[in-house]
Amino acid sequence: MVDGLDADAYDALVTAAETYRAALVVKLAGEAGLRTEEITRVAPRHLREPDSVAGARLLAVPAADGDEGGDAGSTALGGEQIDRETVVPASLAADLDRYATSQGLADDESYVDVSPRRVQMIVSETAARAAGLTDGAVDERVTPSALRKTFARRQLVDRGVDPRAVRDAGGWESLGTLDPYLDPLDGEALAAAIAGDGRSDDGSAERGGTTALPGFEALADPGAAAPAAAVVEGLVDADRWAEAWVVRRAVGGGRADVTAAAGVDREALADRGVAAAGPWLDAVTDGAPATTDGRQETNGRPAVAVPAASDGAIHGALCAVAADGDAVDESERRALAALGGCLGRAITAERWRELLHSDAVTEVEFHTGDDGAFLARASDRLGCRIELASTVDVDDDVSRAYLSVEGARPQDVATAVEASPGVSDFRVIETREEGCSASVRLADGSLVRALVDHGATVRDASAAEGRVRVVADFPEGTNVRPVADGLRDRFADVRLASKESVARSPRTESALRDGVADRFTDRQWAALSAAYHGGYFDWPRGSTAEEVADAMGVSSPTFHNHLRKAQRALLDGVFEDEADRPTRRDDGRATPPGE
């Protein structure tokens, strides 16, 4: 699977396009970040000039049919729901204007009036032609998804654009590889961030991107070493940084381990007391970059430390020490913070990948009776047993948990929910003589979600008599101590009850599931999971579509849209040829064809 194209390969791909329309398809994905389906929806009426940046052009991206609810940040254009706005380079805007004029397109006629499947074929045909013209220098497997990755890399790495702008311009639902907790930007702000080119009088923005670039490149190299080692080696290749190291997370103030270092040996770092103190501790504690103008741990030189975090799990901190006396500026902080997020994501992805391919795993069992853990508190108050059937992410901070309760009435569970901070919206799915099936909205207090954020596969989760028991798998050889440390930050009395290496029996997932799971977007998977666990597919139904949609915090049309597409993916997996099936990304997340 192609992860993205360098500048030469991308230019060769555009040159290889046999028609003007084919070149536009490539450019709309590679230079505007549009998805396959979105390319077929944009029209001349969606292109406009922003007020904030002269010479820039904004392209409004219409929402999918049936997605009337839209996202929180969506707007309307002449009665049409708009998903977002993205910035197009002046050259692409000129190409779009020229094509619309030559073809006599009306304002509401699509530039590329073909099916999404045909868009995929256009990219595939152009890539095959480019591969032939360049003797294989361009990979013939290029897809619209690879072109979107090219867009993201160019903005984030080559140009050092604010990650929030890239997130919103490309329509990514979260910045899992960068920072998922940033506020959205409107079109004018996007134009200032992207089309404004990040210009500054002192050139600091350009330096911020270039001094972190080798770290991004090292992390993206498929033949590189482990993520931490690759990043620190890459950073010291830049003249700006004399040293770089990664510190494994420890509980506040405790000792830690240096897991990777470049430009300095570990003995020297030990002599400076890096394992006991330093800017990394502030970065881990605050979850934000920390800078210093010089201290013992950094050999008296300016330095910056950024958390290596992924979806709320902080694996440690990445530290970079300047080669000269110049202080770390804000653009460098932002660039390295993005790199730290990518590193955290890569560490989690590496654990998932190892777990998928390993014949043995490290099985761990955690117990907690912490009052902050909802299952523990509810089972204690009600004297019941609760099993967690599944959790579905509603957004980056909220999950919906599906529970099976034995020994308590639904109304008693509802009362416990009302008294629990961070837990709300109790919904009964099925009532039984001795209990019920139900779901709750969790904004906090989920030990299961915390473990998944650390890269674990949860096998079992239950609570009784005020104690939660969770069994999970990590890749063989995983150091569980920092995971336990991270959990204790959220649940004070969590205890690692057991840890052992066990042989894993062959995976039982069917070829059908392996083939179709890669097709779902996060929202489609969430809709399908919520419908399944909410009893939507039961007869009689445990929940109506409107009830499931309401539980997920979306409109009924939006839920139906995502569910229908997920169901179509399942059917495609049954009826299509094996060769047409996509490949799962290394981080284990869903990537449907053409995204």
What's the pLDDT band for 253 if we cut at 50, 70, 90?
very low
Name residue 88's beta-bridge partners.
57
Domain boundaries, given as residue ranges, for the chain = 7-195, 204-356, 361-503, 514-580
Average pLDDT over residues 197-213: 52
Burial (0-12, 13-18, 19+ Cβ within 10 Å), 285:
middle
Give yes or no for a contact between 86 and 28, defined as CB atoms under 8 angstroms apart. Answer: no
pLDDT at residue 392 tops 90: no
- b (16+ CB within 10 A) / e for 144-156: bbbbbbbbbbbbb
pLDDT at residue 57 tops 50: yes
* Identity of the highest mean pLDDT range in 44-58, 462-476, 562-576: 462-476
What's the pLDDT band for 204 if we cut at 50, 70, 90?
very low
Instruction: Identify the weakest region by mean pLDDT among 165-174, 483-492, 568-577.
Output: 568-577
What's the pLDDT band for 62 if we cut at 50, 70, 90?
very high
Six-digit token pair at 249? 């997370």
Helix (H) or strand (E) holding 304: strand 303-310
pLDDT at residue 146 tops 60: yes
Instruction: Identify the weakest region by mean pLDDT among 32-41, 218-227, 290-299.
Output: 218-227
Dihedral angle computed from the Cα positions of residues 500, 506, 511 and 517, in that order, rounded to the nearest 10 degrees:
10
* Identity of the highest mean pLDDT range in 178-187, 244-253, 461-470: 461-470
What's the pLDDT band for 137 if we cut at 50, 70, 90?
confident
pLDDT at residue 311 tops 50: yes
- The share of the chain scoring above pLDDT 90, in percent, equals 15
Closest CA to 146 of 342, 345, 10, 17: 10
CATH superfamily name and code, 7-195: Intergrase catalytic core (1.10.443.10)
For residue 252, what pLDDT is reported? 36
For residue 556, what pLDDT is reported? 81
What's the pLDDT band for 120 if we cut at 50, 70, 90?
very high
For residue 195, what pLDDT is reported? 62
pLDDT at residue 24 tops 80: yes
For residue 196, what pLDDT is reported? 56
What kind of architecture, by CATH, is found in domain 514-580? Orthogonal Bundle (1.10)
Using DSSP's 3-state secondary structure scheme, residue 459 falls into strand
What's the pLDDT band for 54 if we cut at 50, 70, 90?
low
DSSP 494: -
> For 204-356, which CATH class?
alpha beta
Instruction: Identify the weakest region by mean pLDDT among 41-50, 208-217, 581-590.
Output: 581-590
pLDDT at residue 31 tops 80: yes
Q: Cα 428 from chain centroid?
A: 31
* Matching residue, tokens 């219409």: 62
What's the pLDDT band for 104 if we cut at 50, 70, 90?
confident
For residue 85, what pLDDT is reported? 92
CB atoms under 10 Å from CB of 547, counted, come to 18
For residue 28, what pLDDT is reported? 95
Strand 80-88 to strand 360-368: parallel, antiparallel, or no bridges (unpaired)? Answer: unpaired
d(CA 197, CA 90): 12
Mean pLDDT of the chain: 78
pLDDT at residue 377 tops 90: no
For residue 382, what pLDDT is reported? 92
pLDDT at residue 308 tops 90: no
Beta strand segments in 74-187, E: 75-77, 80-88
Give yes or no for a contact between 469 and 461, defined as CB atoms under 8 angstroms apart. Answer: yes
For residue 256, what pLDDT is reported? 67
Closest CA to 591 of 54, 148, 283, 141: 148
DSSP per-residue string spanning 390-442: EEEESSSS-EEEEEEEESS-HHHHHHHHHTSTTEEEEEEEEEETTEEEEEEEE
For residue 26, what pLDDT is reported? 94
The CA distances from residue 325 to 301, 331, 336, in Å, are 6, 17, 18
